[in-house]
Structure 1
Amino acid sequence: VLPPWMPGGVRANGSWGDGFGPIQDVSKYGDDYGWSLFYSGREWNYREGHNRDPMPDEVHAAEVVEFLGGNHSAPFLLTVGFSRPHSPWYAPQEFFDLFPLDSVQLTPILKNDAADCAKILTQDRDISEPWGWHKYEKIMRNGGEQQLRKWTQAYLACVSFVDAQVGKILDAIESREDADNTIVIFTSDHGYHMGEKEYLFKFSPWEESVRIPLVVSGPGIAKGLECFSPVSLIDIYPTCMDYGSAKTSYNLDGFSLRSLLEDPVAEAWAGPSVSVAVSGSKVPVEVNQPARAEDQHFSLRSMYFRYIRCRNGEEEFYDHRVDPNEWTNQIDNPHYRADILGLQQGLSAILNKTK
């Protein structure tokens, strides 16, 4: 399930999620090699490259462009999902060419960065899917920093590949008569570590995993401005309902982002002052039963700070005004006592609502 160009140690101990590289004719390596689609298992043909089968994300973009080319007199909501840059990190060669390997810069990584982090995370690796540490170690044992650079190149190539698909959709929107009456929301379900804290995955409570892109454009929405108020994915649905003048027959957990979108500088809205993320632990959960909140690891992000509380009581606190990489855990720094207390009480109030 791994391509023949991967290091032997990775191929011997890796899985499909470790693969990366340019899409190419793998049949040249032997009859045992070929591409197939992940879910259906259907054969995917490279042929001579210029006439290859489209990749799934290209299929999605083409379907959306076709839809947008039609006549739709009634208002509509169109949601589009792309796989990349999810693992495995394969993309056409031209997107790798955008990032020559010798020009690729690794993300800033601090040696022994995890030394002041919660031991239940960095030593016990108490996350339900702890693959991030395994993936990082696998790369460092099989090529070290240069292999990490190659992986970073692949990640960047996959991001650019998806950017090209998004561009096709935006062009199709711009060609429509109702383009000026269209709201576009671009976001993701999670972030990703690029080696920070010796971790290469999602599911962590730290900034690299929890923070996501959220870009919105449309009529009445401020242009070219950035909003620093922390918001959450659960706020997107109420926002769509608001702009669509639609009502729900039940209470929503999220809040409309409309006031922030129209005036991001004022940073005034009805939502909370923090966003909340959860990293599931290894505590077993019965099938079809909700996991207990007290068994999980929680991460709160305010405009300036991140506060982490693990299920065993260990805590972390970071000041993003001076430490955007979350390199220094300030949980024991008396200078931040009031800020820490505020977030501690905020999380306790949130958890009390789950009981």
Structure 2
Amino acid sequence: MSEAPDAAYVDGALAVQTIKLLDSYKNQKTKPFFLAVGFKRPHLPFTAPKKYWDLYDSSKFEIAGFQGDSKNGPRIAYHSSGELRSYITPEISYEVSENKRVILSETFQKKLIHGYYAATSFVDAQIGKILDKLKATGLDKNTIVVVWGDHGWHLGDHGLWNKHSNFEQATRSPLIIYDPSIKKQIQVTSPTEFVDIFPTLCEASGLEIPSNLDGVSLLPLVKGEQLSVKPFAVSQYTNSNKTGYSFRTDRYRYTVWIEDKKSTDPIFQSDIFGEELYDYKLDPNETQNLSEAEDKSNLMRRFQKLAANYFNKQTETPLKNFIKKPQHKLKIGATLNHYGLNSKKEELFLKDFKFLTPANAAKQSRVHPQPGVWQWDRTEDFLEFSRANQLTLRIHGPVSPQASKWAKEDHRTAEELEAVMIDFMTASAKRYNQEPMVKHMDVVNETILPSGNWFGPKKGTNLWENPWLKMGFDKNGFPKYIVKAFEIATKYAPNVKLVYNQNAGMQKPMWDKLKETVLYLRSKGLRVDGIGWQGHLKLSRSTSQFTENTDQALKDLSELIDWAHSNNLDFHVTELDYKLTDQSNLASELQEQAQLYQKIINVLQSKVNTGVVTLNLWDLGQRLKKPNIYFQSIYDANFKPTPAYTVIKNAILNNQ
């Protein structure tokens, strides 16, 4: 504090400069201008000319009545006021209590409150000078003015000083809007956010509001036309590696603490570190956390759902990509076997789906069953079916383990296999490229084992194997058949999106190998447009993780999609079905299937704003794999809808 004039302080000098700018505008009253003036005070340190300190008597200030922890409040919600303690003065040495709260005498607390009031009055005076100049120049008649602060400030409540929390005193902040065209004063008590200021200024200035904003215009509130424009306001604060996301309604505040995640990441139950719930009508000082109160369980579920919906809507939107991008929808389809055409399954398919994958009709064992023999009739039937019903088509697995027996006989040399593969892949790429309904094609399928090793050949011709690996590896250690297949597809199928499809579960070594391979192919100038995952749930140990450790599997799936989209790759769930092993408890198993399908769809749905996501059911009904082992889709053996059908149908309706 000193006798120095206002202009000797940074905020005072800023006001002087602003007034000069307004003077330069006074003769250009019809020329639009935007002027942002950012004052530092009342941030720490509390410095202001002496005359503003003299406005108050520190002995008359009351210190915060509640300076403890809220009952049942999580420790992560508090701090030791490190920002305050970073300002060292000779008159005080800071102490910190066992519960990590700074200990201050009542006298020093009052001095800090005095400083806050003085700094606030100082800035208030600077704002007044600017508004006086605005009026003196006549610019006030066509200038919108917004006065706001970027956060609140703790003055001892909860034993906290400065900001750095999600409590009311840190998150509640002033917002004053003056529009010269509006003659009445309105006091707004419903939730608003600072992200609402930009769209408000757009509307008030007669500008189009961009469609890709998080905020909404507050003009209906300013005009008194509405009492509320949103049900809650969101704030967030990070403490260590945990971030608290707080949702404030007109009465309550719900805060959920998430560990090691951003709001744009998928949030799972296992990521939640703590929760808080406060009722400001009954407890304005936030003395009791009600998140575990039995009589608040329904309210907690409502807020948890609100938070989940909020997180699901979040997207990464870098400023360089701020221009609105096309919004994708979850595309849901199903497979049909060739014998399913002209049958009950065809009827069921056409009832709900417009996205088709011919089950195995495009694989070499079906198309090129013998040397010199080409049988395109099955794929042609599917193409004709798609044309007639205006379907989008996805071709499944030209280069896959389902190679013709004659092609994969043990005596085949690498050179012979390469010639066979090139012949087949070239014919396939050329054929499907000329069909406008074919939008996606698996170039390779099932290439990597869950261990991360390459899937290779076995003796004989009757085992599930990948004979193409016998073609060898290029100089960088990548299978030649994969590189060659994408070379051919890139050259001869420019109109089709090319997919690298993979089976098994979410095993990290396998997907790391796939990622490495995809990036390698692209480094060679080859086109890879998407990756696929065959979701045969419970088929083997590798996919049983979705029932044994569901949260982790879904988390891994979510992160895989994030990787795909961050690399401009579409993501396809290509073969979703569910293995039934207990026919005596069929109803329970079908319910479990539906619940798991819903969780998977929730993950997929949360990703549609960052890229293309598709889901293909494998078959529509129930197929027998071995005696008493069935793979279930969305209809039972009698073609009656199962609980999973309802899940899929709702997802389709939500994406129309």
User: TM-score, normalization: structure 2?
Assistant: 0.41
Residue 278, structure 1, aligned to residue 239, structure 2: no
Partner amino acid, structure 1, of 2:72:
D
- In the TM superposition, what are the counterparts of 1:1-355 in structure 2 within 5 Å? 22-23=1-2, 49=3, 54-70=8-24, 71-72=27-28, 73-106=30-63, 108-122=64-78, 125=79, 131=82, 138=94, 144-221=105-182, 223-247=184-208, 251-263=212-224, 266-269=226-229, 272-283=230-241, 295-311=242-258, 312-354=272-314
Structure 2: how far apart are the matches of 1:253 and 1:263? 22
Structure 1: how far apart are the matches of 2:70 and 2:83? 13
TM-superposed CA distance for 1:268, in Å, is: 4.0
Name the one with the larger strand percent: 2
Partner amino acid, structure 2, of 1:213:
P
**CA 281–306 in structure 1, closer or farther in 2 if over 3 Å, else same:** same
TM-superposed CA distance for 1:240, in Å, is: 0.9
Partner amino acid, structure 2, of 1:151:
L
CA displacement, residues 41-94 of structure 1 (integer Å, 9 cap, x when unaligned):
xxxxxxxx4578621111111111112223223121211110101111111111
**CA 113–86 in structure 1, closer or farther in 2 if over 3 Å, else same:** same
**% of aligned pairs identical?**
29
CA displacement, residues 296-319 of structure 1 (integer Å, 9 cap, x when unaligned):
211110111111111243211111
Structure 1: how far apart are the matches of 2:154 and 2:211? 37
Q: What RMSD, in angstroms, separates the aligned Cα atoms of the two structures?
A: 2.6
Structure 1: how far apart are the matches of 2:196 and 2:60? 38
TM-superposed CA distance for 1:138, in Å, is: 2.2
TM-superposed CA distance for 1:139, in Å, is: 7.1
Structure 1: how far apart are the matches of 2:81 and 2:111? 22
Q: Which runs of 5+ in 2 are unaligned?
A: 88-92, 97-101, 259-271, 315-605, 607-656
Point out the more displaced range, 300-309 or 133-142.
Answer: 133-142
Determine which structure has greater relative contact order: mean sequence separation of CA pairs < 8 Å that are 6+ residues apart, divided by chain length.
Answer: 1
Structure 1: how far apart are the matches of 2:300 and 2:5? 58
TM-superposed CA distance for 1:218, in Å, is: 1.8
Question: Looking at CA atoms only, which structure, 1 or 2, has the larger radius of gyration?
Answer: 2
TM-superposed CA distance for 1:143, in Å, is: 5.9
TM-superposed CA distance for 1:112, in Å, is: 2.8
Q: Which runs of 5+ in 1 are unaligned?
A: 1-21, 24-48, 284-294
Is the partner of 2:217 in helix, strand or coil?
A: coil
User: TM-score, normalization: structure 1?
Assistant: 0.74
CA contact (8 A) 2:70 2:288 kept: no
Is the partner of 1:296 in helix, strand or coil?
A: strand
Partner amino acid, structure 2, of 1:256:
S
Point out the more displaced range, 87-96 or 335-344.
Answer: 335-344
CA displacement, residues 213-233 of structure 1 (integer Å, 9 cap, x when unaligned):
011122344634311111111
**CA 278–152 in structure 1, closer or farther in 2 if over 3 Å, else same:** same
Structure 1: how far apart are the matches of 2:191 and 2:183? 17
